[in-house]
Amino acid sequence: MKRIILLIVASLVAWDSLFCQYKSKYPDIKIVDVHVHPVSTDDAANLIKVSEAVRQKYGSNLAFWIALSKPDETVVGMKTACANRMLFAVSEMRPHKSLQFTAEEVIAKVREGYVGLKFWFGDPRRVIREGEEGIARIDDTGFEHFFSSLECGNVLMTSLHIADPNGPFDDRQNWMADPVYYWEQIRAFENVVAKYPKLTVVAAHGAWLVCQDAQIDYLRYMLSVYSNLYVDIAATFQYMPLVNHENLRDFYIEYQDRILYGTDGGRVSGNATGNTADRYAKTFAILETDQTVNGSFFGNQPVKGLNLPREVLEKIYYKNALKLYPGLKEAMNL
């Protein structure tokens, strides 16, 4: 047993040494992270430092971010701090009790320069306590005017967070372990996508349909049926070992026009920029190589790389974002 432990440690050390030598094969491909949560000018300025560290150490071109959290400071100040390499969404957090914004207010903010709406409808059990009143499903009639108005106003749903991870039988995760309750939320989400076909939705975290092979097949079905649906892959890398590698790679290639790169990164302190750069680079290595990467943006699980073709990477990294986010092409001078 001791010898096995030593071999495992040695292999991890060897991988860390190898990873330090990792260099992107695609330094010319711009990368847009469509799912981050900086809230201050310090966070924005430190993301520029992260980008510089990524370029110098790994050769990747981390070029732009879409911020989904409500800023603690002015948007103008944050844009200045990150050299105008960030756009912002209106953030509607935990609407299960009541909406913070009316649809008309969201539309007005989009006209002012926000790129769309982040709508966090996570596990209702995390929000509605037993005995309390609240909206338990996203297809509740209480949201009808809100969603239909956004659809008429051509507002992009830049991030719709629905449900939480539900893993396979022997690894249910510590989030939404009850599969029946999980699928109830997923079906409610599908009802919304179907009811508002002109409301373009970027579902956060792959719509959390990424932790079982059957979930990936259901996501295939949804993307094939609903042309208004896209997904970002923020915070999904650590769950890749739960599914069949070839099935996952095939999904990325098949739906390359509907997948966007993201991390779910949060606040970035000045002394953590190097660590954050390493975490970004691990996600790039997972997408670009066939290496087994020790950990990803979150977690330490070994993840086998997908080795995606260049044309697929270009779409996931930035081209799909250019199609969807208003003002992004101009902001990136493309």
Helix (H) or strand (E) holding 230: strand 229-232
Please check whether residue 262 is in contact with residue 234, taking contact to mean a CB–CB distance below 8 angstroms: yes
Backbone dihedral angles phi then psi of residue 242, each to the nearest 5 degrees:
-80, -15
Q: How many CB atoms lie within 10 A of CB 291?
A: 16
Q: How far apart are the first and last CA of the chain?
A: 56
pLDDT of amino acid 13: 46
Q: Extract the tokens encoding 236.
A: 């999904």
CA of 47: how far to CAs of 76, 261, 263, in Å?
16, 16, 13
Evaluate if pTM is beyond 0.75. Answer: yes
* pLDDT per residue of the chain (334 residues) written in tens, 0 to 9: 445 444 444 444 444 544 556 899 999 999 999 999 999 999 999 999 999 999 999 999 999 999 999 999 999 999 999 999 999 999 999 999 999 999 999 999 999 999 999 999 999 999 998 889 999 999 999 999 999 999 999 999 999 999 999 999 988 888 899 999 999 999 999 999 999 999 999 999 999 999 999 999 999 999 999 999 999 999 999 999 999 999 999 999 999 999 999 999 988 988 889 999 999 999 999 999 999 999 999 989 999 999 999 999 999 999 999 999 999 999 999 9
Alpha-carbon dihedral sign for residues 321, 322, 326, 331 = positive
Of the candidates 91, 96, 97, which has an alpha carbon nearest to the alpha carbon of residue 109? 91
CA of 334: how far to CAs of 32, 66, 118, in Å?
13, 16, 25
Q: How many CB atoms lie within 10 A of CB 108?
A: 14
Please check whether residue 222 is in contact with residue 190, taking contact to mean a CB–CB distance below 8 angstroms: yes
Q: How far apart are CA 217 and CA 321, in angstroms?
A: 24
Running DSSP on this structure, what letter comes out for residue 70?
Answer: P
- Beginning with the edge strand found earlier in the chain, give each strand of the sheet holding 201-203 in spatial order: 90-93, 117-121, 157-162, 201-203, 229-232, 259-260
Q: How far apart are CA 260 and CA 314, in angstroms?
A: 10
Give me the domains of the chain, ranges plus CATH numbers.
Answer: 2-331 (3.20.20.140)
pLDDT of amino acid 20: 55
